[in-house]
């Protein structure tokens, strides 16, 4: 230990001891017990250190870029704080298990495109558990082995464009449960990787699959009818065999305005003249209009639904597909364990209907033309009275709302009538005194309902002798002497009571009082 301290005294003082011990004098005492303990901890790795930026790389904040450096091996000692690592445009050939010296807990984007990578060792990406985007495009990968992407449980996007992949082994994507977008364009695949959707451990959240520019000649139409309802499948620029099943699929996708087909329809060879050369349709099929149909049945009953627009008899060998609310069926194969089946003539049979069988069923068959506007191959099936019950409940709620509205309106009218009656019969006549005694009149416009003055003097009151007068407001505290307008007398005015015995009658008309004034 003493000899080591003497050899490395200067470096130890300048690089480690002085920054850690501050201004303390450590010269000549590197073998002090405290200093020796500090050095031992450093050697054992207990004191964290930050790796410098590797040569030929650019480090900026949390981004490390070693692109275009002609690297044949991955740099050793990469800083682990990076969230994005770009190693594209190099000469890398193998991604080994120990390609990094320490785990990258923060790394979310790894770019390995434009290299010569032909092999990825099993579980090589376990050191990057937080990876979200992995780009392996433009390499020389030929086979994707099992568990090649083990540990990438959070991966959402994987790019394998421009490789030489011919085979995808079972279990290759068994650990990428969060994968949403997979790019396999410009490879050499000859069969559709159906295991991506059917394997129990596959990426069940996959919503985007690009298989364009491969060597696919046939695709599983029945599976694609089911998968394409929640995922975008791109198949353009493949040498697909134009048969009746593929024609039915493309016609159905075009009717659904399926974006992977509508946006790249020029890249499909099975269209136009190629479709007309294939004899798939019955002689009367193309002229039968397609109209949506509705069917109702009770739980437990059997129901047969004919294919809309499909005339009988059906051409020999014509395959008819049905897209159900949960899966897809065809007339060439049936599942004995399922209570749904398709007859050779295209009729769908539901044995022992269940409530969950309610929904929209679509008949997919090669018709030799695209669907016209307003046409629909749909058949709506309703099992039980669930829709009737909901309609009845809606009607009940609507009638209840109408009753509440009518009751509120009636109550408002009754309250208004009561208030009017209270105002008519209980309002005191205080303006009568001002007219006789010369006192000040009413201070605002008002409707004064008083009895006949002669009846007041005689102490008698008659209910149908109400008088109505409209009084102009007069200034109560004004000092300016203004000639007052004579008060309008109502001696010659007689009206019948309002709302008397449930009716309104008018007795005498009003006399022109202007002449009397």
**pLDDT value, residue 271:** 82
If one compares 26 and 408, the residue with the highest pLDDT of the two is 408
Distance CA 504, CA 126 (A): 94
pLDDT at 507 over 60: no
Mean pLDDT over the full length of the chain: 77
Q: What is the pLDDT of residues 93-130, one digit of tens each?
A: 999 988 888 889 999 999 999 999 999 998 899 999 99
Mean pLDDT of 299-322: 85
For residues 211 and 192, the answer to whether their CB atoms sit within 8 Å is yes
Contact 258, 233 (CB under 8 A): no
Q: What is the DSSP string of 380-412?
A: EEEETTHHHHHHHHHHHHHHHHHHHHHHHHHHH
Mean pLDDT of 30-41: 53
Q: Could you give the CA distance from residue 406 to residue 409 in angstroms, rounded to a whole number?
A: 5
For residues 386 and 385, which has the higher predicted lDDT (pLDDT)? Answer: 385
Please tell me the predicted confidence (pLDDT) of residue 462: 46
Work out the number of other CB atoms within 10 angstroms of the CB of residue 472.
Answer: 12
Task: Indicate the burial class of 316 (C-beta count within 10 angstroms; 0-12, 13-18, 19 or more).
Answer: exposed
Structure tokens at 231: 């995922």
The Cα 38–Cα 20 span in angstroms is 9
| Residue 241, CB-side half-sphere exposure with 13 Å CA sphere | 10
> Is beta strand 181-183 parallel, antiparallel or unpaired with respect to 208-210?
parallel
394 vs 97, higher pLDDT: 97
How many CA atoms, within 13 angstroms, populate the side-chain half-sphere of residue 416? 6
Cα distance between residue 174 and residue 150, in whole Å: 8
Position 20 confidence tier, pLDDT thresholds 50, 70, 90 = very low
**How many separate helices (H) and strands (E) can be counted in the chain?**
12, 23
Q: How many CB atoms lie within 10 A of CB 309?
A: 20
Instruction: Give the CATH class of 293-383.
Output: mainly beta
Tell me what percent of the residues of the chain surpass a pLDDT of 70.
66
Say if residues 413 and 421 touch (Cβ distance below 8 Å).
Answer: no
45 vs 383: CA distance, rounded Å: 70
Instruction: Give dist(CA 308, CA 136) in Å, integer.
Output: 47
The pLDDT of residue 170 is above 50: yes
pLDDT score at 388: 40
Compute the average pLDDT of residues 162-186.
94
Q: How many CA atoms, within 13 angstroms, populate the side-chain half-sphere of residue 170?
A: 3
pLDDT 10s digits, 58-74: 999 899 999 999 999 88
323, 226 contact by CB (below 8 A):
yes
Average pLDDT of the segment spanning 285-292: 68
pLDDT at 75 > cutoff 90: no
Task: Give the residue from 120, 48, 56, 55 showing the smallest Cα distance to 80.
Answer: 48
For the chain, what are the domain ranges? 293-383
pLDDT at 277: 82
Q: What are the pLDDT digits (tens) for 246-288?
A: 999 999 999 999 999 999 999 998 987 788 888 776 555 555 6
pLDDT at 275: 82
Distances (CA, A) of 481 to 439, 441, 475, 477: 15, 15, 11, 11
**pLDDT (0 to 100) of residue 487:** 47
pLDDT of 410 higher than 50: yes
What is the model's pLDDT at position 421? 86
Q: Is 200 exposed, middle or buried (0-12, 13-18, 19+ CB in 10 A)?
A: exposed
**What per-residue confidence (pLDDT) applies to 482?**
45
- Give the pLDDT confidence of 447-500 residue by residue, as tens digits: 444 544 454 444 444 444 445 444 455 544 444 444 444 444 444 444 444 444
pLDDT at position 183: 98
Residues 6+ apart with CB under 8 A from 81: 50, 62, 106
> Which residue shows structure tokens 């009746």?
244
- CA 113 → CA 21, 87, 92, distances in Å? 46, 7, 10
Q: Please state the pTM of the whole predicted model.
A: 0.66
Is 21's pLDDT higher than 50? no
Predicted pLDDT at 215: 97
- Tokens 């309609």 correspond to 391
Which tokens go with 404? 């509440």
DSSP letter (8 states) at residue 259: H
The answer to whether 463 and 497 have CB atoms below 8 angstroms apart is yes
Beta carbons within 10 angstroms of residue 175's beta carbon: 21
Residue 478: Cβ within 10 Å count: 8
Both structure tokens of 111? 């770019």
In this predicted model, what pLDDT tens digit does every residue of 415-454 receive, in sequence order?
989 888 888 877 665 554 444 444 444 544 444 445 444 5
Continuous segment of H or E residues that includes residue 191: none
pLDDT > 90 fraction of the chain, expressed in percent and rounded:
45
Please report the beta strands in 139-276, taking only residues with DSSP state E, as ranges in sequence order.
Answer: 143-144, 157-159, 167-168, 181-183, 208-210, 232-234
Q: Which of 305-319, 341-355, 473-487 has the lowest mean pLDDT?
A: 473-487
Range of weakest confidence among 45-54, 219-228, 345-354, 395-404: 395-404
Question: What are the pLDDT digits (tens) for 41-52?
Answer: 555 544 455 668
Write the burial class of residue 289 (CB in 10 Å: 0-12 exposed, 13-18 middle, 19+ buried): exposed
Q: Which segment of 134-138, 285-289, 322-326, 368-372 scores lowest on mean pLDDT?
A: 285-289
304 pLDDT above the threshold of 80: yes
Contact, 282 vs 315, CB < 8 A? yes
């Amino acid at each position: 230990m003493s000899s080591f301290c003497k050899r490395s005294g200067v470096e130890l003082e300048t690089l480690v001891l002085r920054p850690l011990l501050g201004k303390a004098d450590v010269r000549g005492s590197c073998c002090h017990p405290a200093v020796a303990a500090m050095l031992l901890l450093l050697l054992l790795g207990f004191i964290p250190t930050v790796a410098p930026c590797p040569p030929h790389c650019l480090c900026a904040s949390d981004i490390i870029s070693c692109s275009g450096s002609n690297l044949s091996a991955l740099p050793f000692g990469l800083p682990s704080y990076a969230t994005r690592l770009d190693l594209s445009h190099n000469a890398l050939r193998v991604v080994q298990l120990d390609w990094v010296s320490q785990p990258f807990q923060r790394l979310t984007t790894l770019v390995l495109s434009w290299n010569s990578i032909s092999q990825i060792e099993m579980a090589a990406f376990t050191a990057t558990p937080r990876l979200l985007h992995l780009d392996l495009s433009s390499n020389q990968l030929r086979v994707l082995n099992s568990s090649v992407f083990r540990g990438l449980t959070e991966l959402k996007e994987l790019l394998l464009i421009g490789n030489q992949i011919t085979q995808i082994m079972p279990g290759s994507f068994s650990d990428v449960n969060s994968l949403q977008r997979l790019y396999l364009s410009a490879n050499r695949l000859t069969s559709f990787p159906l295991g991506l959707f059917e394997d129990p451990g596959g990426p069940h959240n996959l919503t985007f699959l690009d298989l364009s520019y491969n060597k696919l000649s046939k695709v599983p139409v029945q599976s694609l009818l089911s998968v394409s309802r929640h995922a975008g499948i791109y198949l353009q620029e493949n040498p697909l065999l134009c048969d009746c099943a593929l024609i039915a699929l493309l016609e159905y996708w075009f009717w659904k305005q399926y974006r992977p087909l509508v946006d790249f329809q020029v890249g499909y060879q099975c269209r136009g003249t190629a479709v007309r050369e294939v004899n798939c349709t019955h002689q009367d099929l193309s002229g039968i209009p397609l109209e949506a149909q509705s069917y109702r049945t009770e739980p437990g009953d059997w129901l047969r639904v004919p294919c809309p627009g499909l005339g009988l008899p059906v051409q020999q060998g014509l395959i008819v597909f049905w897209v159900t609310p949960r899966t897809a069926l065809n007339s060439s194969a049936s599942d004995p364990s399922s209570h749904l089946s398709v007859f050779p003539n295209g009729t769908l049979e539901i044995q022992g209907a269940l409530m969950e069988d309610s929904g929209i069923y679509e008949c997919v068959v090669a018709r030799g033309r695209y669907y016209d506007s307003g046409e629909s191959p749909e058949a709506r099936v309703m099992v039980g009275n669930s829709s009737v019950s909901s309609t009845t409940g809606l009607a009940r709620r609507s009638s209840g709302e109408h009753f509440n509205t009518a009751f509120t309106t009636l109550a408002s009218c009754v309250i208004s009538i009561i208030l009017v009656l209270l105002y008519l019969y209980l309002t005191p006549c205080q303006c009568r005194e001002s007219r006789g005694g010369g006192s000040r009149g009413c201070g605002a416009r008002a409707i004064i309902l008083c009895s006949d003055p002669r009846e007041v003097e005689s102490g008698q009151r008659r209910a149908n002798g109400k008088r109505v007068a409209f009084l102009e407001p007069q200034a109560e505290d004004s000092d300016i002497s203004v000639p007052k307008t004579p008060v309008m007398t109502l001696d010659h005015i007689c009206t019948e009571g309002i709302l008397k015995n449930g009716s309104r009658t008018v007795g005498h008309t009003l006399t022109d009082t202007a002449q009397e004034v």
